[in-house]
Structure 1
Amino acid sequence: MTLSLHGVALACACLVATLAVDAHAAAPAAPARHADAVSRALAHLSAHSSGPGRPALSNTEDVQFEARDVIVDADGTEHVRFAQRYRGLRVIGGDAVVHSHPTGHALRGVSRTLARQPAVGHLPSMPAERAGQVGLEVALAPVAQVERVQHELVVFAHRRAPALAWDVLVAGTADDGGPTERHVFVDAHSGAVLDQFDTVMHAAAVGSGQSLFIGTVPLDTDSQAGGGFALRDTVRGGHAVYDLKGQFTGAGTLFTDADNTWGDGTTADRATVAVDAAAGHAYTWDYYLNVHGRRGIANDGKGATSKVHQGLNGRPWVNALWSDSCFCMSYGDGDGSYWPLVALDIAGHEMTHGVTSRTAGLLPSGESGGLNEATSDILGSMVEFYANRPEDPPDYLIGERLPRDGSGPLRTMIQPSADGASADCWYPDVGDLNAHYASGVGNHFFYLLAEGSQPASGPASPTCQAGDTRVATGHASVKGVGRKKAEKIWYRALSVYMTSSSDYHDARDATLSAAADLYGGSGSKVWKRVKAAWAAVNVK
């Protein structure tokens, strides 16, 4: 997921982030306590599919829906998210969310990316070994060293009609020395490459967060039986910070201290960046808990792990990454141009990729990839507003204090095209852009929704008019709803209505539904302003 800085592409807010979705990982199961809600939702799927002309979205001999998340609103309204299998094969892009009225007795609606059951044969013409060769040949361009190749037969329905395909995973080291897990989807009959993406989101050689971004902060630590303290937050799910000591991988060494005073505010003390990592997790945890009622990244009360002083084959690592597989953040030390990658908005951005993976699961390809990046920019920035640190005043700029020479930001939500690559406006080919540049449409929408086009206390934002693509040239007046309403609308749209293949028009529908739920129903003032903000980025 990329940000851009003066023409330099930067992944996930100038970092490497691992995609919110591991294409080979099984979908997490819904909590057992919600078994009744799941049963009701499955019954609604069956009934919803029984009428003439209605989409087939129910468990049959060929199709199975597996619950992976349940959200119950305060009034009892139920939202059950399902992954889909067809004849035992995972359906990429086949997820659905069932929305039921309080107590689940009446169907409210279904959010989905695939309207009908797949109608594909389950026997491939192309053997797995040949598909693996095709996938490897395609992946070798961005992959410098291959560690393993795996293949899985799936139904691929992301941005296209369902097709039987081989999901070929090529894992190893990318050209820039970072990790890569590249998925190449190969048609199981014709051998055509249907799509490809990396579930480790890379940033080019950019990156870093100044370790003194937020000054002196309180830290919740863990007293040790033999004396001293460990940098482990027992208040927030056991989050702990480890020192990689220049290595790229490994468990690292847990930070400990004798007097519970950590760092000295400079990079001369190895614990200084560990303080920033601990604070970044704490503010992100508190934001999601206190603003959205979410108990940690996975909503299970468990804290992530942070690793600092990450190196790269003896060279400085000017990136950071979120990995879903280890449920961890890793931060490089930067280089002569960039500070260590421990800035607050970077931490919030990266860990939000973890939230996306446990909710909508937006795939990193096409417009859904842009939405994935935009979500991390949006909610990562809201973490910064939540923290409201005077040392790093909150704003709608991403990574603005990372460059040592002060030449940031990496991205701006006010007019994304200012970076020279991102799109201010939606147009039919916006999904062909790198996901980090396609994210500009969502970022621009959010700023207009929160602040308006001509806010009294912030910079004006140009709107889009017919024919605008990368650069907005309009001067329409758009009124905002305020940041606090806007962030709640976006989070609810993400967690309740968006699905893995949602595009910007789906996001428009999702945010309108969220606004109706939260602020007075369809046709309310807030609902109309959501509609107007999307129109102002040419999503109508």
Structure 2
Amino acid sequence: MKRKLAAVAVVSATALLTGVVQVSVSQAAPAAPSIQAQAAHQHAAVVAVANGQSAPLAKALNLGDQEKLVAKDAVIDQDGTRHLRFERTYAGLPVLGGDLVVHQKADGGVKSVDKAATAKIALPSLTPRIPADQAAAGAAGAVKATVGQTIDSDESPLVGVHQTGKAELVVWANDNNPRLAYRTTVEGVRQDGTPSSQILITDAASGAVLSTHEKIETAVGTGNGVFVGQVQLTTNQNGSQYELKDASRGGQSTSDMSNGTSGSGSLFANPNNSFGDGTAANRESAAVDAQFGAATTWDFYKNTFGRNGIRNDGVGALSRVHYGSNYVNAFWSDDCFCMSYGDGANNSAPLTEIDVAGHEMSHGVTAATAALNYSGESGGLNEATSDIMGTMVEWYANLPANPPNYQIGELINLRGDGSPLRYMDQPSKDGSSADYWDPNVGNLDVHFSSGVANHFFYLLSEGSGAKTINGFSYNSPTYDGSTLAGIGRDKAAQIWYKALTAYFTSTTDYAGARAATLSAASDLYGANSDEYNAVAAAWTAVNVN
């Protein structure tokens, strides 16, 4: 699945940052593969434990005879508490909205269960009224009808549909009205060259479109040269060449797409182990940014949460730079497990800012865990998760060339006036994002409804009112006029990550996020702790009660 930083749009390159890149090499350490293999084995073992409990848990949850649980992920706390995440099938069909998380005590007793949908599944028939080929044709027709239109305010118009995937029979339960449906993938391309891969859910009885979402969400924008400045990279020696390939981080690598849009590109390598010169004119400079961004995101998740890669399986992602010609977007794709960066206007401004990398790759973490639906309030939480974690990656990097702050995309200069793309302390300063929850917030574009959670995270981290942090000025208001003291961004991030991986489901909304983060704070710091009370107060301060 591909996710978008959104609204990181197009600007002209006006200046270039310079910096000499110093690169260190480590020959593929013999211990690294075994450590990764051990971590992957441990994760697989935990998931196997969850799968072993799927049948008795299905019975304990009073699921029907035709319903089965399939383990997707599992988290085990230090005290032995287990958070087992399952997908569900009905008569062998995937149930969309059937995901749930079972929280077990150390002795195996069930503490609680979080379900994406609560309705009982009991279909009168498994025979669709509409055949699969008709459903696929209808889905393709629905997408073709949008050619030339911009559905998302941050997307380029769709200009063509070139492939339709086979329609797959599923059970649609996202709206708590379970029914037989088809899931179809329709692929195409947008006017600016961004690939399109849309998932459509159609009613198997009427053919009506029940849901649609774009799997490829882009980070649209331009940069001003090398963002990371002077950095060190771990490289791989292969004969007389040094490669931008990092064996210590799951083999993640960076390749040159040579302005193409398909394939994996060519791995960056040279004989002198020094990459780039800090200018966009040197093709290696963007590769340095991308490789460093991927490495920092990996290290942040590993050292902060113990997560071994985006999917927690020890596998590193591919970064593809120089994607397309005059391509002013960047995007993360679960399908290729890769991050792609365009070169911007006139192929002179690569989109390789570090918070873009952290934001987009965090969409991969969300996809591997809660899989928050990319629409409504859950879509806002999906985007906010990437803003939150992308910001934390920027703080983790702590680069002199890009001082960390609570602004999103501040170096991309979307508006051409030097202002950031989004503000966490008061999201409405961008002119579109919501500071507080209201009943209509789920109708906003997900990049604007995310403001409620972004504001919550800032207040939880730093508190309310005027202050200067790391040289940046903030002034965060509250809905109820309360004065809050923050608990620090590190604790706030731990709470959010715990909620994402242990409590959020695909349909979690803002009320559910409040409950989930309170559960996470209770797990981490205690039910009567200052941290727990701060979470409650911060949600109240953004009108989520």
Q: TM-score, normalising length from structure 1? A: 0.87
In the TM superposition, residue 264 of structure 1 has moved relative to its aligned partner by 0.6
Provide the residue aligned with 1:361 in structure 2.
Answer: 371
Offset at residue 30 of structure 1 (A): 7.2
- Cα RMSD over matched residues? 2.2
Q: State whether residues 117 and 175 of structure 2, in contact with CA within 8 Å, keep that contact through their aligned partners in structure 1.
A: no
Structure 2 equivalent of residue 106 of structure 1: 109
Q: 1:410 aligns with which of 412, 421, 424?
A: 421
1:190 paired residue number? 206
Structure 1's unaligned 5+ residue stretches are 9-28, 50-55, 466-474
The one-letter code sitting in structure 1 at the alignment partner of 2:105 is: H
- Is the CA contact 2:280–2:348 (under 8 Å) kept in the aligned structure 1? no
Alignment pair present for 1:425 and 2:436? yes
In the alignment, which of 452, 458, 468 is matched to residue 447 of structure 1? 458
1:67–1:82 contact (8 Å) kept in structure 2: yes
Superposition deviation, residue 425 in structure 1: 1.6
Partner of residue 438, structure 1: 449
Aligned length: 494
Question: Which aligned pairs between 1:42-441 and structure 2 lie closer than 5 A?
Answer: 42-47=55-60, 49=61, 56=62, 58=63, 60-102=64-106, 104-120=107-123, 121-140=125-144, 141-142=146-147, 143-150=158-165, 151-203=167-219, 206-225=220-239, 227-311=240-324, 315-335=325-345, 339-403=349-413, 405=416, 407-441=418-452
CA distance 1:74–1:481, shift in 2 (3 Å): same
How far off is 1:371 after superposition? 0.9
Change (3 A) 1:306 1:352: same
Give 1:522-537 correspondences, 5 Å limit.
522-537=527-542
Deviations 1:333-390 (A, max 9, x none): 1116983110000000010011111111111121111111110000011000011112
SS in structure 2 at match of 1:4: coil
How far residue 160 of structure 1 moved from its aligned partner, in angstroms, is 4.1
In structure 1, distance between residues paired with 2:175 and 2:453? 19
Deviation at 1:5, TM superposition (A): 6.3
Q: Which moved more, 1:109-118 or 1:266-275?
A: 109-118
Partner of 2:28: none
Unaligned runs of 5+ in 2: 12-41, 148-157
1:488-534 residue CA offsets vs partner (Å, 9 max, x unmatched): 000010011101111111111110000000112x2322111111111
Report if the CA contact (8 A) 1:45-1:98 is conserved. Answer: no
Instruction: Note the C-alpha offset of 1:178.
Output: 1.2
- Over 3 Å counting, the alpha-carbon distance change for 1:148 and 1:395 in structure 2 is same
| Alpha-carbon separation, structure 1, partners of 2:306 and 2:224 | 30
Mean Cα displacement is larger for which, 503-512 or 188-197? 188-197
Cα distance, 1:275–1:2 mapped onto 2, change above 3 Å: closer
What is the SS of the residue equivalent to 2:248? coil
Residue 504 of structure 2 is aligned to residue 493 of structure 1: no
Distance 1:222 1:406 in 2: 41
Q: 1:12 maps to what in 2?
A: none
What residue is the counterpart of 1:503 in the other structure? Answer: 509
Letter in 2 for 1:81: R
Task: Give the stretch that moved more between structures: 317-326 or 335-344.
Answer: 335-344
Matched to 1:137, the amino acid is G
Please list the CA deviations of residues 133-165 of structure 1 after superposition, one character each: whole Å capped at 9, or x if unmatched: 332232120442222212111111224422221
CA distance in structure 2 between the partners assigned to 1:487 and 1:212 by the alignment: 28
